[in-house]
Structure formats: C-alpha cells, structure tokens
Amino acid sequence: MISVKDTTSPAPRATGSPATGSRAMFALAAAVVGLCLAASALPSPMYGVYAARWHIPASTVTLIYAAYCFGVLAALLLLGRVSDSWGRRPVIAAGLAGLLVAMVMFMYASGVAWLFAARAVQGVATGVAISAAGAALLEAQPRRDAARAGLTNAGASALGVGAGGLLGAVLLRFAPVPLVVSFAVLAVLVVLLLGGLLLVPETVSARTGFRVAPPGVPRAILAPFALAGLGITCSWSVMGLYLGLVGTLAPDLMHTRSVLAAGWAIFAMGGACAAAPLITPKAGPPMQIARGTALLAVGVALIAWASSIASAPLFIAASVLTGWGGGLAMSGALGGVGAAAPADRRAQVMAAFYIVAYAAISVPAIGAGFTVRHLGAAGAFQVFGAGIAVVSLGTAALALTRHRAAGRAGAAPGGRRSEEALTGGG
C-alpha cells in the first residue's frame, strides 16, 4: 500500500547541484518514458489479429491488457523507491532489460498464454523504468525546473502513446510478418537506449545499494499530490478507455476495416495531448489541471455524441479536443507533483503518483472490455465516459479553487508565494 508519513526515512539525497544535471540524461530519461508508453500502445491495433488467429474472446483480450496494468502496479508497489537508494541508471537499465525480454516474448508468441506472459513482463519492466526515469527527469533538468520536467514527461508520454499506436497499425498493414517485425523494431530501440545509459551520468549522489520500500507521500505534500492525482486520473482514464475501444469505434465510424483507422485515431489524440502544453499559454499546475479537465469533459461528451450519430469528422475533432485537455491535465499534474516531491524521495513519490495513474488507466479499460459484449463499443464508451466527464468537471472546480487560494496567499503580505503557488498550496 502507499504509505503517508510525517518524517522521512534516512535515504540518500539526490544530487542537488544544477551543475550535475545532464542534458543527455534528461533527454535519455524522456526517451525511456516515451518508449515505455509507445510499447504499451503498440499491441492495441494487433489484438484483432491475435483474436482472429487464436479465437480469443473480447473478455480475454481485456484480461491480457489487465496483465500489463497489474504488472506495472506490482512493480511500483514493490520496487518504486529502489532508485532513490540504488541510483537511477541501474534501475532504468533493469527496466529496459525487462522490456527487451517482453519484446522477444511477443516476437515468439504462439498462443494466448504467451500474450499474458509478455504483457505481464512488459508491465513489470515499465513500472520499474518509469518511476526511475520520472525522478531522473526532475534531477537532470538543467535549471531544476519542475514545470519543464513535468512538461517533458507529459509530452514524452503522450507522443509515446500516439506514436506507438500508429506504428503498430502501420507495420501491421505494410510490414512483412508484422507480429514479429513490430516488436523487433522496439527491441532495437531498447538496445539503443541501454547503450545510451553508459554515456550519461548518475543523478543520485549517495547510493546505499538495493533497498525495497513502499511508495509513499509525505504529509506535507498531500494537498498538491491529491490534486495532481485527480488530474492524472482524469487524463489517463480517458486514455485507457480510448485505447481499449478505439480499435472497434474508429473502423465503425470511418466505415473501413483498415487497422490504420485505429492507428490514426490514437495518433490524433496522442499528438494533441503532446502539443497542448507547448502551445497553450503557461500557467501554474492547478490552472493547467483546471483548463485541461474542463476541456477533457467536453471532449469525452463529444466523442460519445459522435459515436451515437456515427459521425467520423466529429469523432476525430472530439478526439483531438480530448487529447488537448488530457495533455494540459497531465502536464499540470506532473509539474505539481514534481515541484512538491522532496529531493531524497522523488522516486518514492513518483511511484505513488504512477500507481494512481495506472489504476486510472486500467479500471475503465478493463470494465469497458467486459461491458462491450452487452452494450457495444459505443455504449460502453458512453457509460464509462459519462463517469469520467463528471469526475473531470469536479476536478476542474477543485483545481480552480486551489489556484485562486494560492493567488490570494501569494498576494497577502508575508504570504508564501513561489513554492505554494507552483504546487497549488499545501
């Protein structure tokens, strides 16, 4: 379970001097996040082929996806804080090595049991890698700017999902032996990142070796963490629902059987998600979360409407709007939790944050997978989307309240300004 403590256990502190921040490590950590998320989305367009080849029912496909999510959650719960004591580089390397094993398992898959095993290994590897890479992004950012680190993390995550879904569809359509070639391409990228780890510096100054500790959130940052958790819950729950159903929704609405329909739809949402924080005027994390979740609620409602009237143009436009809102919410959430996390517990806090994120991305997708048999893809999206829209509107209202409270605190004589305004108070 995620622990909440008043005091910090005696863990070594991460390097505190900006001089030790490495641009190369920053870029590599972002690439690790992006590649892990791309690998998670790559199989989405392929499930139809697997289902037809091995006669897999829709409910079993949903359980295969669940194996990945449970693998991530298990890794975060058991190993989320290891990089705070062991160092970022060895933990990222271990995660990438596990991801490489998963890609090889996919390449040699000969039945549904292989898919379960490959997805479970991929989930564990992803959980190990992303918590360490997320902490490394905060430490290697040249100016220790948590907002920029959060922006990079959000952009890499969104681009990874979009590019992974599109790459999977394109290779499935055009590559020879696509169920092998697709994962071979990712395996090559994993090997390149493993080689890159040899060239970048460690960002943790004092290492005490392999130490297992549960994810945790210091009481002092509970308020900004809770708001960040709501923001990422809204953003990633839509992502999970969309990835779970777009393989059916997109071809039906676009009147085509081509796997490229789902690939382009995933890329449209992922691309908008990545672009939104870059183009939208800068704001503190609470305001980003408020704007993002409000737009996200509108976008989800429009996707549901598009699916009910069978409008392909509205579906694509709504997907872009939903991605835009999700990108703002995700960037605000990552920026807020990054600014609030203590230096010596960054991986522990990031692990707790990603537990919330992966719970959010898995529950709607798994639920929709079982519901789709009775309601169809459009009906399942409308039911689960309605719940996400309600939570998003509530989060927008809370975030706006936090933003205004932080503004009043900063304007008051002697009020706490920069840190509290950035994190949303506490």
The pLDDT score that the predictor gives to residue 262 is 81
Q: Is residue 8 part of a domain?
A: no
The pLDDT score that the predictor gives to residue 326 is 92
The pLDDT score that the predictor gives to residue 62 is 76
Q: Is the pLDDT of residue 410 over 70?
A: no
Q: Is residue 371 part of a domain?
A: yes
Distance CA(296)–CA(301), nearest Å, equals 9
Q: Is the pLDDT of residue 200 over 60?
A: yes
The pLDDT score that the predictor gives to residue 18 is 41
DSSP for 394-420, please give it: HHHHHHHHHHHHHHHHHHSTT---HHH
The pLDDT score that the predictor gives to residue 208 is 55
Question: 21: number of CA atoms within 13 Å, CB side?
Answer: 19
Q: Is residue 416 part of a domain?
A: yes
Q: Is the pLDDT of residue 418 over 60?
A: no
The pLDDT score that the predictor gives to residue 214 is 66
Q: Is the pLDDT of residue 392 over 90?
A: yes
Q: Is residue 207 part of a domain?
A: no
End-to-end Cα, the chain, rounded Å: 23
The pLDDT score that the predictor gives to residue 251 is 82
The pLDDT score that the predictor gives to residue 1 is 43
Q: Place 420 in a pLDDT band, splitting at 50, 70 and 90.
A: very low
More confident residue, 171 or 419: 171
Q: Place 211 in a pLDDT band, splitting at 50, 70 and 90.
A: low
Of 51-55, 79-83, 85-89, the least confident: 79-83
Q: Is residue 229 part of a domain?
A: yes
Q: Place 207 in a pLDDT band, splitting at 50, 70 and 90.
A: low
Residues 342-376: pLDDT tens digits? Answer: 877 777 787 788 888 888 888 887 787 778 778 88
Host H or E run for residue 197? helix 178-197
Residues 232-246: pLDDT tens digits? Answer: 999 989 888 887 788
Q: Is the pLDDT of residue 66 over 50?
A: yes
Q: Is the pLDDT of residue 426 over 50?
A: no
More confident residue, 81 or 301: 301
Q: Is residue 119 part of a domain?
A: yes
The pLDDT score that the predictor gives to residue 222 is 84
Question: 243: number of CA atoms within 13 Å, CB side?
Answer: 37
CA dihedral 287, 162, 341, 96 (to 10 degrees): 180
Q: Place 206 in a pLDDT band, splitting at 50, 70 and 90.
A: low
- Output the 3-class SS for 300-342: HHHHHHHHHHCCHHHHHHHHHHHHHHHHHHHHHHHHHHHHHCC
Q: Is residue 324 part of a domain?
A: yes
Indicate the residue type of 18. P
Average pLDDT (273-296) is 88
Q: Taking a C-beta distance cutoff of 8 angstroms, is the pair 357, 93 a contact?
A: no
The pLDDT score that the predictor gives to residue 101 is 96
Q: Place 423 in a pLDDT band, splitting at 50, 70 and 90.
A: very low
CATH code where residue 23 lies: 1.20.1250.20
The pLDDT score that the predictor gives to residue 395 is 94
Distance CA(215)–CA(82), nearest Å, equals 10
> Taking Cα atoms as reference points, which of 358, 362, 360, 366 lies closest to residue 59?
366
Please state, rounded to an integer, the average pLDDT across all residues of the chain: 81
Q: Is the pLDDT of residue 416 over 50?
A: no
Q: Place 21 in a pLDDT band, splitting at 50, 70 and 90.
A: very low
Q: Taking a C-beta distance cutoff of 8 angstroms, is the pair 35, 83 a contact?
A: no
The pLDDT score that the predictor gives to residue 135 is 81
Q: Is the pLDDT of residue 248 over 60?
A: yes
Average pLDDT (199-219) is 68
C-alpha angle 263/268/272, rounded to 5°?
A: 145
DSSP for residue 201: -
What pTM does this model have? 0.77
Burial string for 102-120 (b: 16+ CB within 10 Å, else e) reads bbebbbebeebebbbebbb
The pLDDT score that the predictor gives to residue 408 is 66
Domains in the chain, number: 1
Q: What percent of the chain has pLDDT over 70?
A: 85
Q: Is the pLDDT of residue 422 over 50?
A: no
Full residue range of the structural domain in which residue 354 is found:
19-198+215-423
**């309601």: which residue's tokens?**
375
The number of residues making up the chain comes to 426
Q: Is residue 206 part of a domain?
A: no
